[in-house]
Structures are given as C-alpha cells and as structure tokens.
Amino acid sequence: MLFSRCLLLGLTFAAVFFAPVVADIADPFIDEGGGGPVFPLADEVLAHGGEFGDDVVLLGAVGNVITALPDYPSDLASGKRSYPVRRGQWLARRHALELLAISAACSGLVLPVTRVGAALLAVPVLAVAALAVPLLGSADAENRAECERFGMIVAGAAHLLVVLWSVGFVVLGLRGG
C-alpha cells in the first residue's frame, strides 16, 4: 500500500512538473486549432489513446528533442524556436532522458501487468538509457560525435521500450488475456 501511494505521489509530481515541458516542446507546432499540421496524430492519440497514448506522446517528445539537438547552432542562428534553443542543450538532453524514464516507469499503464512485470519491462530500457548519462555534459551540437552518440543511445532505448511493449501485447494476446 505504501509503495502504491509513493508511486501515485511520484507520478503526480512528474505529471505536474513535466506537463509544461511537453507543452513547451509542442508549442511551436500547435496553432489555435489544437494540433497544427505536425501533431494531428498526437491529438488523436491523446483524445482516444488512454494511458498508452500518453506514453506514446511522451516518447514522441523525446524524439522531437533528440532530433533537434544536432541542429542547435543553425536553429539558434536562424531564430528557430526549437526546444534546445529555448531551454539550452544540457536541459533539453536531461529532459529527454527524464521523459524516457517516465515512459519506461509507466509500462504498467500500457500493459496490464503486475508491478514486477512493469519493472521487468523498464529495467533494460533504463539500463540502455543510463549509458547516455555520462554524455549529458559533453554532447553539445558543437561536439558532433558526442551529440550523435547521445541521440542514438536515447533513440535506441526508446525503440527498445516500444519493442518490449509490442512483445508484451503479443504475449498477452497469445495467452488470451
């Protein structure tokens, strides 16, 4: 019971803290209609996807940030309002890792599994993502090799999470549950 309350408190804190981050990432793409030309799928997923949709949108935000990181110098020079330009490269990298960790930790919301099952899904993803932590301070766009290494590690961890969710859905389908 205590674990459930701590998890609920942690997820509530994360939702309150990261909602502005996700909104800030999406801001340049959203018009008065809500979704803009780039995020109609995100609108659809948020409207009908439930908890699974929320995790997919978090992973989309991770992808948006890591693909914008190498373009930081040109975005800054042209006045483009990408997330790394508005928040800084280090903070953008940190937020990408944090949003990925939240998505992995919420695997129990995606698949109807126990806490142990959700942890088993999250551990390999977090292990891969942990490889990017030492690069937080050095993976600026000016250091192209480190920036690309950071992006590949984080993207690989996000893809691993989606593959694990997919395998989980297949296993549950084969079990009839």
Any domain includes 5: no
Any domain includes 94: yes
Model confidence pTM above 0.85? no
Between CA 83 and CA 150 the distance in angstroms is 16
* Range of the structural domain that residue 58 is part of: 10-175
3-state helix, strand, coil in the chain (%, to 5): 80, 0, 20
Any domain includes 73: yes
Average pLDDT rounded to a whole number, residues 35-51: 46
Number of independent structural domains in the chain = 1
Which helix (H) or strand (E) covers residue 173, if one does? helix 144-175
Between CA 108 and CA 115 the distance in angstroms is 7
The per-residue pLDDT for range 64-111, each reduced to its tens digit, is 899 999 999 999 999 998 899 999 999 999 999 999 998 888 887 777
Average pLDDT rounded to a whole number, residues 20-38: 45
Q: Which residues contact 60 (CB under 8 A, 6 or more apart)?
A: 42
